[in-house]
């Protein structure tokens, strides 16, 4: 039965492609120049896995269907970029960033929808999509766009596994939805490997692309997904992309590098919810499954601040305070000569790891992103504020960990620190990992959503079921 269904899907895909190509040199947009082979291959992906995903999303309905339409709009924006690349030579970086703006806006629209619907009964579905939708950014990721897509796909696994666990023996349609959605990214990886192995392939003969370069945002009707989610009209796309551009988007549009910093958001250690990379101070740091939100600390609205010179990196002892500031891509920061009265203040460190040996009074992480912290013992408090994508591993003991205004925080406790109190406020996607006898970690989410009722005498607050 499974093989028959696969053959049926392949036949439908072929039929759609046949309707696209009306003759030699006439394919896709019907222009006399034709459409590049890799654009036709992308249309096949739209007609196959994407079409199946849209179909099942419509059957599931509700927020999942609305979300799927946004995903489809993002894929259409991506197709437009592919057509442009197939007809133009690669432009300057700032022009390329402008061409990618529609994709950026669609990614933001998808993720904003999840954030605005945290009370949805299908929140895990929305989270799976929001975590992986940055995969559309592969067009800006060189020289390894394929591995980047896989990395984004792995970010969705935390939530897709929740869906499978909840519906495995209850609703086959939900299971099919997971398979259909993940197949999009699996097929996209294969597509990239064949046509864009080291980055987006540009034409070698066409004119250099400009900001005004136009390309069809959707293939003809035959190649587009079926009625459940028709290609968005100009007005529909305008509606989806008219959401306010976040500071992250503005920064990305000004610099291709910001795209990478803003979207890369999972590492190998979190694919199995283990922590060998952090424990050994190796590999990039990323806090597993978290909702992608526009990082406010990462981009200032003040133009003068953007132009300010980069601050020097520090790792020094000033009186009784260890100052660790402005480090980027530093994976071997170590503080070893510690005393009980000393404190550590870690400020604006990005994509780095820090190990603090010995016993120390307190540790504060402020305005850090993609930071891994490993420490032995703290007699006071470990405080994490205004940060994003942080991993903290306790090797010895700590009485209190405070998490405030932070998006994405994984706390790995040791067996000696299981009595630690974790206090959180105004934060999202916090997870505490408890060690098992086998040396692995079991992950437990920290509730973010609560219900408060008046019982006649006082307010009573409890954790809502959806909060985990």
Instruction: Kindly report, residue by residue over 261-291, the tens digit of the pLDDT.
Output: 344 444 455 444 445 544 444 444 444 444 4
Q: Is 35 helix (H, G, I), strand (E, B) or coil?
A: coil
Nearest partner of 152 among 118, 129, 168, judged by Cα: 129
Q: CB of 313 within 8 A of CB of 332?
A: no
Q: Is 304 helix (H, G, I), strand (E, B) or coil?
A: helix
Q: CB of 347 within 8 A of CB of 368?
A: yes
What's the CA angle centered on 301, arms 299 and 303, to 5 degrees?
100
**143-170 mean pLDDT:** 89
Q: CB of 406 within 8 A of CB of 383?
A: no
* pLDDT confidence of residue 245: 31
* pLDDT confidence of residue 235: 31
* pLDDT confidence of residue 97: 87
Q: CB of 145 within 8 A of CB of 139?
A: yes
- Beta strand 314-318 pairing with 321-325: antiparallel
* pLDDT confidence of residue 6: 60
Please tell me which residue, 62 or 228, carries the higher pLDDT value: 62
Model confidence pTM above 0.75: no
Question: What CA–CA distance (Å, rounded) separates 64 from 61?
Answer: 6
Q: CB of 352 within 8 A of CB of 373?
A: no
- With a cut of 70, say whether residue 218 has pLDDT above it: no
- Both tokens of residue 119? 């009370």
- Phi, psi for residue 339 in degrees, rounded to 5: -130, 160
Q: CB of 466 within 8 A of CB of 449?
A: yes
Domains of the chain: 36-196 (1.25.40.330), 314-463 (2.160.20.70)
Q: Is 44 helix (H, G, I), strand (E, B) or coil?
A: helix
pLDDT digit string, tens, across residues 288-320: 444 444 444 444 444 444 445 678 899 999 899
pLDDT digit string, tens, across residues 131-156: 999 999 999 988 889 999 998 888 88
Please tell me which residue, 21 or 45, carries the higher pLDDT value: 45
- Please state which of the ranges 106-115, 283-292, 317-326, 413-422 shows the lowest mean pLDDT: 283-292
Mean confidence (pLDDT) of the chain: 78
Share of the chain above pLDDT 70, in %: 71
**334-344 mean pLDDT:** 91
- Phi, psi for residue 67 in degrees, rounded to 5: -65, -40
pLDDT band at 412 (very low <50, low <70, confident <90, very high): very high
pLDDT band at 5 (very low <50, low <70, confident <90, very high): low
């Amino acid at each position: 039965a499974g093989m028959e269904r696969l053959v049926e899907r392949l036949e439908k895909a072929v039929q759609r492609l046949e309707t696209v190509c009306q003759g030699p040199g006439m394919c896709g947009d019907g222009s006399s120049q034709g459409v590049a082979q890799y654009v036709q291959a992308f249309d096949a992906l739209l007609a196959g896995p994407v079409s199946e995903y849209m179909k099942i999303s419509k059957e599931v309905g509700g927020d999942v269907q609305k979300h799927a339409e946004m995903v489809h709009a993002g894929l259409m924006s991506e197709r437009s970029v592919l057509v442009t690349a197939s007809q133009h030579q690669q432009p300057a970086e700032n022009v390329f960033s402008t061409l990618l703006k529609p994709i950026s806006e669609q990614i933001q629209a998808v993720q904003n929808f999840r954030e605005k619907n945290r009370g949805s009964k299908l929140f895990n579905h929305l989270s799976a999509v929001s975590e992986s939708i940055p995969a559309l950014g592969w067009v800006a990721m060189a020289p390894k766009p394929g591995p980047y897509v896989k990395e984004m796909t792995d970010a969705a696994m935390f939530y897709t596994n929740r869906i499978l666990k909840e519906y495995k023996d209850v609703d086959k349609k939900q299971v099919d939805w997971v398979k259909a959605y993940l197949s999009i990214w699996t097929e996209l990886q294969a597509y990239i490997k064949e046509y864009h192995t080291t980055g987006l392939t540009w034409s070698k003969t066409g004119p250099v692309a400009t900001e005004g370069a136009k390309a069809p945002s959707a293939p003809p009707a035959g190649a587009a997904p079926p009625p459940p989610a028709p290609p968005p009209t100009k007005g529909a796309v305008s509606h989806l992309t008219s959401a306010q551009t976040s500071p992250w988007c503005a920064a990305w549009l000004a610099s291709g590098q910001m795209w990478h910093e803003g979207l890369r958001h999972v590492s190998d250690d979190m694919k199995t919810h283990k922590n060998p990379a952090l424990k050994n101070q190796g590999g990039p740091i990323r806090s597993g499954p978290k909702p992608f939100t526009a990082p406010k600390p990462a981009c200032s609205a003040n133009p003068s601040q953007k132009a300010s010179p980069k601050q020097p990196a520090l790792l020094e002892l000033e009186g009784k305070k260890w100052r660790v500031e402005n480090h980027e891509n530093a994976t071997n920061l170590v503080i070893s000569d510690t005393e009980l009265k000393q404190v550590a203040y870690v400020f604006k460190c990005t994509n780095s790891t820090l190990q603090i040996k010995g016993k120390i009074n307190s540790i504060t992480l402020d305005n850090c992103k993609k930071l891994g912290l490993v420490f032995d013992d703290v007699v006071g408090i470990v405080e994490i504020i205004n940060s994003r994508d942080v991993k903290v591993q306790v090797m010895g003991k700590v009485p209190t960990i405070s998490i405030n205004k932070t998006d994405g925080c994984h706390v790995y406790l040791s067996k000696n620190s299981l009595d630690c109190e974790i206090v959180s406020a105004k934060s999202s996607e916090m997870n505490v990992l408890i060690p098992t006898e086998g040396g692995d970690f079991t992950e437990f989410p920290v509730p973010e959503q609560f219900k408060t009722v008046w019982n006649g005498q006082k307010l009573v607050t409890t954790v809502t079921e959806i909060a985990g």
